Chains A and B, each alone.
Chain A
Amino acid sequence: MADIAAPNATVLAAGSRSGLHKLMQRKSTIAFLMALPLILLIAILVAYPAGYAVYLAMLNKSMSKFVGFGTFEFILKRQAFWDVVYQSCLFAISAVIFKAIIGFVVAHFVHNIPAKGQRKWRGMLLVPWVIPPAMSTLAWLWLFDPSYSAFNWIFAHFGISAVPWLGEAGWARFAVILVNIWAGAPFFMIMYLAALKSVPEQLHEAAAIDGATWWQKIWYVNLPMMRNIIAITALFSLIVTFANFDIVRVLTNGGPLTATQIFATWAFKVGIESGDIPQGAAVSLFMAPILAIAAAFILRNISKRGSEV
C-alpha cells in the first residue's frame, strides 16, 4: 500500500507546486503584486481610519459601551443634523454649479488667448487655487470684517449701506459659498481648458462651415466632447466641497449661530470641541451615503460615452 500511495503523493505535491507556479505566472497575480504597495498605503491611511470611525460611532458618549446604531438614531432625530444636511447640500451644490459655470466660461476665454500670452494668464488664474485656503480665507475674513470691510467701504462711496457679511445667516452663507467658488473655480478652469484643447480644431472648422455660430459651436461641439471631463470634475469637486472644512472654519466657524455649519465643521464641533467623539464620527459617516448617491447619478452612462470618442 505504502509504495503505491507514495508516487501518488509526489504527483499531488508536484501538482500543487506547479499550480502555485502557474498562479504566480498569471497576469492578474503579477498586476496584484505590483499594486500591493498602493493597496497597503490605502489600507493604512483610508480603510483603517474609516473602519475605526465606524467602530467609534457605535460606542456611547463616554466610549465605554457598545451601543450599535444608537448614536445614528439619536442624530437622525436632531433638528441640528437636518439643518447641517440642508446647509451642506446648499453649500456644495451651489458652489459646484457656479465653479463649473465660471470655470467653463473662463476656460473658453483663456483658450482663445494667443498661445504666447496664455501661460501668463493661466498661471495668474490658478493663484486662488494654489494658495492654502486657510491663508487666503484670512484675507477674505478681513474683506468681510464688520468694521473694516473693504467691500462696505467701496459700497459706501456709492451710497449703499454696509452689508453684514458674516453677521446674518443669508449673507454668511453667501460669503462662504463665494469664497469657495473663488478658491475652487481655477481647478475647473484648468480641467476644462485641458478638455477644450483636446477637441480637434477641425471640428470647429467643420462646424463653422456647417453654419454654426460661436454659441452653437460651444453647445453642439465643445459641450458634448467635454461631457466626461465635466461630469468627473463636478463629482470630484462635489466630494471635496461637501467635505470642506477650512473655509467655513476660518470665515464663520459655523456661525452666526449654526447658519453655516456643514458636515465637517459640525462633526468637529460635536466630536472635538464638545468632546462627544462617537457622535462626531457618526455625523461624518453620514456624508458617505449622500455622496454615493451623487456619484451614481453623475457617473451614469460615463463608460458608454467614453467609448464613443
Chain B
Amino acid sequence: MAQVTLRKVIKKYDEVLAVRGVDLDIADKEFIVLVGPSGCGKSTTLRMIAGLEEISGGDIAIGGDVVNDVPPKDRDIAMVFQNYALYPHMNVYENMSFGLKLKRTPRQEIERRVKQAAQILDITELLDRKPKQLSGGQRQRVAMGRAIVRDPKVFLFDEPLSNLDAKLRVQMRTEIKKVHQKVRTTTVYVTHDQVEAMTLADRVVVMNAGLIEQVGSPHDLYHSPNTKFVAGFIGSPAMNFIPCQVEQAAGALRLRLNDKLAMPVPASRTNRYSSVVGKPNLVLGLRPEHIMETRPHTESDQHDFEVPIEVVEPMGMETLVYFTINGTEVCGRINPNAGGVAGQPMKLRADLSNMHLIDDTTGKVL
C-alpha cells in the first residue's frame, strides 16, 4: 500500500515534449483515472510510473521513495496491458505465478495466492488453460489476476478494456471496481473513455496536450469544470457551446444568444459575470440535460424559448433533439413523451442555474 507522487514530470522524445510537467499526488488506496484524447500523454505518464519509460525531468516517488532510476522490477508495481500481454506458452496458473516464482516465493505460498486471486476473479476452472483457449474477457481477468497475486504497492492499468466489445466492457468495468473494493490497492488507470473514468475513479485526472487540465472527483469535473476542454470532454452527449454576449439590462445581466433570443443571467451570478459585460469571444456552456421540454411549473433561472427542431433521436429513456442557435448545433434532452418532430418548431426550456460562461480566448470557465 503506498501513495504515488509526481513532481514536474517531463517526457521528451527527441525534440517533442510528450509530457510537459505533471504534478500529481495519489493517496494510498486511491483509484485514480487518467483520461484524455489520444496523444495527451496519459499512457506515457503511466509508463513512466511503471518505469517502462525513462523520465526526462522531475521526480516520481512510490511510497515516499524516489524511483526515477529504479528499474520496473524493483518498483513493486503490477500492470495490466491493453492487449493483456499474457505469456502464450504458459497456462493461466503459470502466467499468474510467474512474478512470484521469480521472487522465489515458496511453492505453497504461490499456490495459496493464485487460488485466492482466481477465486476473487472467478477463474478457478481456467487455471490449466493456455491464453489461446480463453475469450477476451477471460484473458482480461487472468491479466488482472497476474497483478493481484503479486500484492504490489500500486496497480497500473493501461486502457485494459479497449479490446473488449461494448457489453463486456461494461461488465468488466464493474468487475474492476469490485476487485478494487476487495483488494484496496492504490490504482492508476488510463483510459480515453470518459464514461470509464467517471464510473471507476475516486478522482479523475483530465489530461490534454501533455498537461493536466483538472483533477477532481467525477462529480466536480462534471458540474464545475475549470476549462472548456474539460467541460467538453466529460459528459455524453457533450456540453453545448453557444457563442453569446453578456449585456446590462435594468440592474441585471442578460445573455444574448442572437438577435431574437436573450435570457436573464441568474441573479446569483450577476457579480461573477459583471466584469465581462460587452466582451467578445464568450461562450455559453450548457449540458443537454439542462435543455428540456417546457413544464407547467417554472423554477427560477429557467427560461422558455421556441426553435425549429432539425433532428430527433429517440433513445428510449430520453429523446435527443438537435437545433441551431447562432450558427451552432445545440442538443437538448427531452422526455420521450414530450413530442418533438423534426422540421417543426418546439417550445424548449433552458435551465441557466447550471450554466457555464467560458472565455473562448483563454479557454477558462469564468
Contacts and interface: CB of A to CB of B under 8 A. Distances in A.
Interface string B52-88: 1000000000000000000111100111010101111
Contacts of A209: 50-52, 72-73, 77-79, 99
Given A216-B102, A220-B98, A308-B130, A208 B85 contact: no
A208 B132 CA distance: 22
A274 to B, nearest CB: 52
B103 interface: yes
Interface string A74-90: 00000000000000000
Interface stretch (A9-17, A46-54, A199-207): A199-207
A221 B87 contact: yes
Given A224-B89, A308-B89, A210 B102 contact: yes
B99 A200 contact: no
A119 to B, nearest CB: 20
A210 B85 CA distance: 12
A225 interface: yes
Interface centre among A210, A213, A307 (most CB of B within 10 A): A210
Interface in B100-147: 102-103, 130, 132, 146
Interface residues of B, number: 25
A203 B87 contact: yes
B81 A205 contact: yes
Given A202-B83, A216-B102, A210 B73 contact: yes
Nearest to B89: A224
Contacts of A298: none
Contacts of B50: 205, 209
Interface string A208-227: 11111100100011001101
Most buried by A among B50, B83, B88, B150: B88
Contact of B102 (A212, A305, A308, A309): A212
A210 B81 CA distance: 13
B81 A308 contact: no
Given A200-B85, A205-B85, A309-B88, A210 B98 contact: yes
B73 A211 contact: yes
Instruction: For chain A, give the interface size range.
Output: 20 to 34
Nearest to B132: A308
A203 to B, nearest CB: 6
B132 A206 contact: no
Interface in B18-62: 50-52
Interface in B144-171: 146, 150
Contact of B71 (A200, A208, A210, A227): A208
Contacts, number: 67
Given A216-B102, A309-B89, A206 B130 contact: no
B75 to A, nearest CB: 8
Interface string B270-309: 0000000000000000000000000000000000000000
Nearest to B71: A208
A300 to B, nearest CB: 17
A221 B86 CA distance: 11
Contacts of B146: 206, 210
Contacts of A200: 83, 85
A211 B103 contact: yes
A202 B85 contact: yes
B88 A225 contact: yes
A227 B89 CA distance: 10
Contacts of B102: 210-212, 216
Interface in A209-254: 209-213, 216, 220-221, 224-225, 227
B52 A205 contact: yes
A227 B81 CA distance: 25
A305 to B, nearest CB: 8
A273 B103 CA distance: 64
A277 B74 CA distance: 68
A308 B134 CA distance: 12
A222 to B, nearest CB: 11
Contacts of B85: 200, 202-203, 205-206
Contacts of B98: 207, 210, 220
Contact of A208 (B72, B86, B103, B150): B72
A95 to B, nearest CB: 29
Nearest to B78: A209
A308 B88 contact: yes
Contacts of B130: 308
Nearest to B47: A205
A253 B361 CA distance: 86
A202 B81 contact: yes
Nearest to A223: B89
Nearest to B88: A309
Contacts of B150: 210
Nearest to B79: A209
A307 B74 CA distance: 34
B240 to A, nearest CB: 40
Contacts of A216: 102
Contacts of A221: 87
B105 to A, nearest CB: 11
16 contacts: A206-B87, A206-B146, A208-B52, A208-B72, A209-B51, A209-B73, A210-B73, A210-B146, A211-B73, A211-B74, A216-B102, A227-B89, A307-B132, A308-B89, A308-B130, A309-B89
Given A205-B50, A206-B85, A225-B89, 18 more contacts: A205-B72, A206-B79, A206-B86, A206-B146, A209-B50, A209-B52, A209-B72, A209-B78, A210-B98, A210-B99, A211-B99, A211-B102, A212-B102, A220-B98, A227-B89, A307-B132, A308-B88, A308-B89
Ranked 10 nearest A-B pairs via Cβ: A210-B99, A202-B85, A206-B85, A211-B73, A224-B89, A208-B72, A211-B102, A209-B79, A309-B88, A209-B72
Interface of A: 200, 202-203, 205-213, 216, 220-221, 224-225, 227, 305, 307-309
